[in-house]
Structure 1
Amino acid sequence: MRALTLICLAGLTLLVAACAGAGPTPYQPASRPGAQGYSEQQVAEDRFRIVVTGNALTSRERVEDYLLYRASELTLGEGYDHFLLLERQTDSNTLRYYESWPSPMWGPGWAWQPYWGGYYGGRSHMGVGMGMSMGGGQETRYSTSALVRMYHGSPPADLGPIYEARTVMADLEPVVHPPPQR
C-alpha cells in the first residue's frame, strides 16, 4: 500500500510540474524556424522580415505586440528612429484534438452489429448502457509577420502608419516583459 501511495504521489508531482510551465509564449527568440518566439532576417540595409509565432495560450494581440516590440528593438539597434510595417499578415492555425483521458458516460445509445459470425447483414440495437467518452477541444495558435522598413528622422506621412521606435517600446514594455539586458 505504501509503494502505491508513493507511486501516485510521484505521478501527481510530475503532472503538477508539467502544468506549471504552461503559459503564453514569452518574448524570446525562436529556437528554430517555426518554433515559438520571434525570428528575423535582414533583407536590405534598412529592411527586416520579422516572424512571431505563439502557442495556444498566446493571444493574437500578444503576438502582434511582440512583432511591434521586436521591430522597435531592431530599429533602434540599427541606428534608426522610425519604422513602417509593410506586407503585414497574421495567420491562425486551429487544431482540433481528442483528449487521451476517457471519462465515463451513461445514457441511451445505439449500436450496429457488422459482419461477424459468418453472415452478411447487420442489425441495429437500441439500449441503455455505459461507455467511455473521449473528450476533446480545439486550440488556436497565431503567427504574424511583416516586412519592416526603417527610417532616420520623420519619414513621409503618406506611406502609412509610421511608428516611433522609442514610444512603441515604452508603451509595450509592461505587456511584453522582455528579458533583462545582459
Structure 2
Amino acid sequence: MPKFKLTGAIAALAVLGACATATPYQAALDGDRGYSEMKIEDNRFQVEFSGNSLTDRKTVETYLLYRAAELTRLNGYDHFRVVRRDTDSESRLVPVGGGSPYYDHFHLNYRYFGPYAAYYHDPFRRSRYSAFGPYDAYWGGPREYRERTSYVASAEILMGKGEKPADAAYFDAEQVVFNLSSNIMRPELK
C-alpha cells in the first residue's frame, strides 16, 4: 500500500512541476500559450507569442523574433522587416496564504434538519460574504496578494528576398535563427 501512495505523490509532483515552468517555444493550440501567426499577404504576416506569468518580457520578445525569422525561412525568404511591434502585459493580484478560496467558513444551518434543530440555529450570525467580501482577514482569508504578470508580444513582419537592406528595421532570418537558437527552450518530449 505505501508503494501506491508514493507513486501517487510522485505523479502529483510531476503534474505540479509541469505547471510551474515558463512557457516553452511551441505552437499555441486551442488558446494555449505559445506562438501563432496569421498570413496577411504572400510576404506579410502577423506573428504573436503569448507567455504565462512565469515567462518574462524579454523571453516573450525573443521568442517572437525567433518565430518571425523561422517563418521567413519556411516561406522561402531571406530577410524580414518589422513593420509594427507591440508588447502587452496583463497583471492580476493572486491571494497568498490565509484561508482557502474554496472553503468559505460557512456555518451549518440546523433548522433544516428536524424539529429540534431550530434550537441550534443562531439567527444573528452573519455570513462571511455579507459585510466584508469573500477574502475577509477576520475569517481567515488571504492577508497578502502577489502580482502576476503575463506578456503577449506581437509584430507585423514584411518578408523579402536577396541581400538585407542597410536599415536597422530589417533582420537577416538566417543570422537571427543562428544567434537566438541557444536561448530557445523547447517543450520536453514525453
TM-score, with length taken from structure 2:
0.68
Deviation string, structure 1 residues 124-162 (Cα, Å, up to 9, x no partner): xxxxxx97351431210000000111111234435x421
Moved beyond 6 Å, runs of 4+:
5-8
Which residue, out of 34, 56, 61, partners 2:58? 61
- Number of residue pairs matched? 152
TM-score, with length taken from structure 1:
0.71
Q: Does 1:166 align with 2:164?
A: no
Deviation string, structure 1 residues 45-80 (Cα, Å, up to 9, x no partner): 111100100001111111111111111111111111
Deviation string, structure 1 residues 2-30 (Cα, Å, up to 9, x no partner): x8x89986774454223221201010000
Which residue, out of 83, 89, 92, partners 1:86? 83
Tell me what 2:158 maps to. Answer: 149
Deviation string, structure 1 residues 81-115 (Cα, Å, up to 9, x no partner): 11111110001101111147639xxxxxxxxxxxx
The structure carrying a bigger strand percent of its residues is: 1
Identity value in percent? 36
Deviation at 1:177, TM superposition (A): 3.5
Q: Counterparts in 2 of 1:1-182, with a 5 A limit?
A: 12-13=9-10, 15-21=12-18, 22-32=20-30, 34-99=31-96, 102=99, 116=124, 132=140, 134=142, 135-158=144-167, 160-178=168-186
Q: In 2, Cα distance between the equivalents of 1:6 and 1:101? A: 33
Q: In 2, Cα distance between the equivalents of 1:82 and 1:46? A: 11
Alpha-carbon RMSD across the aligned residues, in angstroms, is 3.0
Tell me what 1:110 maps to. Answer: none
Answer with 6-15 or 61-70: which moved more: 6-15
Q: In 1, Cα distance between the equivalents of 2:22 and 2:38? A: 24
Q: Secondary structure at the match of 2:93?
A: strand
**Gaps in structure 2 of 5+ consecutive residues:** 101-123, 126-137
